[in-house]
Amino acid sequence: MFQDLIDALIDFILWLPRQIFALLVDLVELMMSWLPEIEIVDVQSIFDGLGGQLLYFLTVFEFDYGLTAIFTALIARFILRRIPFIG
């Protein structure tokens, strides 16, 4: 009898966070539906509008490598800050 009561209490304790999480997920899904759709612009048309001089300097300064290095460093910093005892 006592074991059944404890099992029912454990089931309720495990059921409650799942229901709260499900409600939060549904709320986020509802809020995401409120956001307007963003029309994605073709990236090639943006670069076609740049002048030749700007493209020359972006090539000389290796902008693509620099941008990749910066984003990689930011992502690594974010991940390392999430590890306990390090960040």
- DSSP-derived letter for residue 35 is S
**Does one domain contain both 53 and 87?**
yes
Residue with tokens 């009898």: 1
Name the pTM for this structure.
0.41
**Does one domain contain both 24 and 55?**
no
Local mean pLDDT, 10-residue blocks, the chain (87 residues) = 87 90 94 86 77 85 90 93 76
Decide if 43 is inside a domain.
no
**Does one domain contain both 57 and 23?**
no
**Does one domain contain both 86 and 58?**
yes
**Does one domain contain both 87 and 63?**
yes
80: containing domain: 48-87
Name the phi and psi angles at 5, rounded to 5: -65, -45
**Does one domain contain both 28 and 1?**
yes
Number of domains in the chain: 2
